[in-house]
Amino acid sequence: MRNRIFPLTRKEVLHILRDPRSLYLAIILPIILLILFGYAITFDVRHIPIGIVDEDNSFLSRELISRLEGSEYFDLLYIMSPSTEFEKLLDEGKVKVLLVIPKNFSRDIQQEKDTPLQLLIDGSDNNTAQIALGYTSGIILDFSSNILLERLDKQGALLKPGIPPIDIRPTVWYNSDLRSENFIVPGLIAVVMIILAAMSTSLTIAREWETGTMEQLISTPAKPLEIIIGKLLPYFFLGLIQISFVILIGTFIFKVPLRGNIFYLFCVSGVFLVCGSGIGLLISAATRSQQLAFMLSIIFTLLPSFILSGFIFPISSMPRIIQLFTYLVPAKYFLIIIRGIFLKGNGLATLWPETLSLVVLALILVLACSRRLKLSLE
């Protein structure tokens, strides 16, 4: 078996080396994609443009404005008078948030009356709107708590200054700074690698059919499974080189902590590469057209990896029938594994269900490629 696989592997390696530009691109492209998407995709929302209408113009209203202005989440663009047509700022998209401080704001607080504030938020971008609402509510709640504490202190309540009766002291594990890069970059590694693995192998068998060399493979004693393994091995090792570079980029440029075992990471990455390469080979064997195989490899890896893997959208929030399809997406399991290795330092003892699922998917894809190729040769 070895004597039949190695010549096929050597043939595929020579084909890769004959086109050095494609080889360089295969190594550089994942680095470019990771850096580009790593900086472009972020869940952190800062510098939200805000406008404020101060109808009270008192010490307390100015203090509230200074808290909003001093926050890293908001950029205070306008402080307007009541006569200004401030709603146009929302219509024109110049601000995302408008806060209206009513007249007698300070007096009502001092007289212990209900003091409503009007908050207008541009909801055309619902994600930014929800985050802006949370930021604004948190700042106003903290401002209100300080006023309440001062009032209790004047009434003789035994409270330490600045300390509320219930003091929440949260501790965030695994991503203490809540950096979105720590969540995004490991996910990007999974998405980029499966796309490139499938794209690379999607042309192999289809190229044999188009160039007329498949008849030569048929005449050899190599079995379909041996042909699949021989074509898969060069791209498998090329994928390991690619994933080495993207791991270095993730740890040294994006400062994502790598707390787990690097050997286990490479082992699981190898299994994941077999899944991606298997998808490309299966498409290549089924289509016999390089152009069609290339397009289908992007469709069958890019969309599921972004949408159905949990990379951006939580799987638990999807409809039940859609959740069932996610079990067929290799990136779903690898995302859990790579984030567990990077951020939590997890190993096989914790991640064995996902690792086993990847191994099973890899075997199924390789056997499916062999079966499909056998049917094509008959």
Indicate if 359 and 281 belong to the same structural domain: yes
270: confidence class by pLDDT, cuts 50, 70, 90:
very high
* 22 and 69 share one domain: no
Q: Are residues 18 and 73 in the same domain?
A: no
Query: What does the mean pLDDT of the chain come to?
Result: 82
**272 located within any domain:** yes
Task: Examine the domain organization and report whether 362 and 241 are in the same domain.
Answer: yes
Position 378 pLDDT exceeds 70: no
Same domain, 353 and 267: yes
- Evaluate if residue 325 carries a pLDDT over 80: yes
pTM: 0.79
- Cβ atoms of 204 and 12 within 8 Å: the answer is yes
The neighbour count for residue 157, using CB atoms within 10 Å, is: 10
pLDDT of residue 157: 54
At residue 53, the pLDDT reads 87
Q: Are residues 268 and 235 in the same domain?
A: yes
Token pair of 218 as six digits? 């048929």
Residue 230 is assigned to a structural domain of this protein: yes
Residues 219 and 341 grouped into a single domain: yes
Asked if 119 and 25 sit in the same domain, the reply is no
Q: Is pLDDT of 214 > 80?
A: no
Q: Is residue 160 situated within a structural domain?
A: no
Q: Is the predicted pLDDT of residue 202 greater than 80, yes or no? A: yes
CA 216 – CA 16 distance, rounded (Å):
19
pLDDT of residue 12: 76
Query: Does residue 123 carry a pLDDT above 80?
Result: yes
Section 85-103 average pLDDT: 83
- Domain span including residue 89: 48-154
Q: What is the pLDDT of residues 281-304, one digit of tens each?
A: 888 888 878 888 888 888 888 888
Give the span between the Cα atoms of 192 and 247, in whole angstroms. Answer: 12
268 and 121 in a common domain: no
pLDDT above 60: residue 348: yes
Name the least confident of 43-52, 133-142, 154-163, 341-350: 154-163
Residue 75's DSSP bridge partners are 49
Choosing from 154, 169, 200, the residue where a domain stops is: 154
Which H or E run includes 264?
A: helix 262-287
User: Can you tell me the distance from the alpha carbon of 247 to that of 272, in angstroms, rounded to the nearest whole number?
Assistant: 15
Final residue of a domain: which of 139, 154, 169? 154
Among 183-192, 313-322, 329-338, top mean pLDDT goes to 329-338
Residue 162 lies in a domain: no
Which CATH number goes with the domain that contains 89? 3.40.1710.10
One domain, residues 248 and 202? yes
- Considering the domain architecture, whether residues 24 and 87 belong to the same structural domain is answered as no
Residue 184 has pLDDT above 90, yes or no: no
**Confidence check: pLDDT of 338 > 90:** yes
The pLDDT value given to residue 65: 86
Domain membership flag for residue 159: no
- Between 238 and 154, the higher pLDDT residue: 238
- Can you tell me the distance from the alpha carbon of 98 to that of 118, in angstroms, rounded to the nearest whole number? 8
pLDDT surpasses 90 at 206: no
Residues counted in the chain: 378
Please check whether residue 169 lies inside any domain of the structure.
no
Does residue 168 belong to any structural domain of this protein?
A: no
Query: Do both 244 and 197 map to the same domain?
Result: yes
Q: Structurally, how many domains does the chain consist of?
A: 2
| Residue finishing a domain among 89, 120, 154 | 154
Whether residue 165 lies inside any domain: the answer is no
Beta strands at 97-101 and 118-121: parallel, antiparallel or unpaired? antiparallel
Q: What percent of the chain has pLDDT over 70?
A: 90
Which is higher by pLDDT, 355 or 176? Answer: 355
